[in-house]
């Protein structure tokens, strides 16, 4: 049981490049989400999904796309990277929304030059 896995662990991009951050969970959780963590700001929700084929925007969705074709996978795509997207990105999953425990992946540290 691997829990929530994320790849890559580190990534450096140039402005304007695109990339996909991968997230997978093996707990059969319906709810998955992406956060970014910036110093002094805690975690902010980018996008979330309540099940395969269903996604919605969070607090800071601009510049990011998501899709959920399977229960297990929830990739995050950066369309055209900008220095403001330099951050640590966390994927999380839980049984459903609300008071259920969220399980976090180890994070991806992204630097955009």
Partner 1 sequence: GDSVTQMEGPVTLSEEAFLTINCTYTATGYPSLFWYVQYPGEGLQLLLKATKADDKGSNKGFEATYRKETTSFHLEKGSVQVSDSAVYFCALSAISYGQNFVFGPGTRLSVLP
Q: Provide, rounded to whole angstroms, the least separation between the CB of residue 93 and partner 1.
A: 11
Nearer to partner 1, 79 or 97 (CB): 97
Q: Provide, rounded to whole angstroms, the least separation between the CB of residue 91 and partner 1.
A: 9
Q: Which residue has the tokens 């074709």?
A: 69
Q: Which two tokens stand for residue 73?
A: 């996978």
Nearer to partner 1, 75 or 107 (CB): 107
Neighbour tally for 19: CB within 10 Å? 15
Q: Provide, rounded to whole angstroms, the least separation between the CB of residue 14 and partner 1.
A: 26
What letter does residue 73 receive in the DSSP assignment? B
CA separation for the pair 29, 59 (Å, rounded): 22
Q: Provide, rounded to whole angstroms, the least separation between the CB of residue 72 and partner 1.
A: 18
* Helix, strand, or coil (residue 38): strand
Nearer to partner 1, 10 or 14 (CB): 10
Nearer to partner 1, 17 or 75 (CB): 75
Give phi and psi for 16, each to the nearest 5: 95, -15
What letter does residue 79 receive in the DSSP assignment? S
Sites of contact with partner 1 (CB under 8 A)? 4, 33, 35, 40-45, 48, 56, 58, 90, 92, 97-99, 101-107
């Amino acid at each position: 049981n691997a829990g929530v896995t994320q790849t890559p662990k580190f990534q450096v991009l140039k402005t304007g490049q695109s990339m996909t951050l991968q997230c997978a969970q093996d707990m059969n959780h319906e709810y998955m989400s992406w956060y970014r963590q910036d110093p002094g700001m805690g975690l902010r929700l980018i996008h979330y999904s309540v099940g395969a084929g269903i996604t919605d925007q969070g607090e800071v969705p601009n510049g990011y796309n998501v899709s959920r074709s399977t229960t297990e996978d929830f990739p995050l795509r950066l369309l055209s990277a900008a220095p403001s997207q330099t951050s640590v990105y966390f994927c999380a999953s839980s049984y459903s929304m609300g008071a259920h425990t969220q399980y976090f992946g180890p994070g991806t540290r992204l630097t955009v030059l």
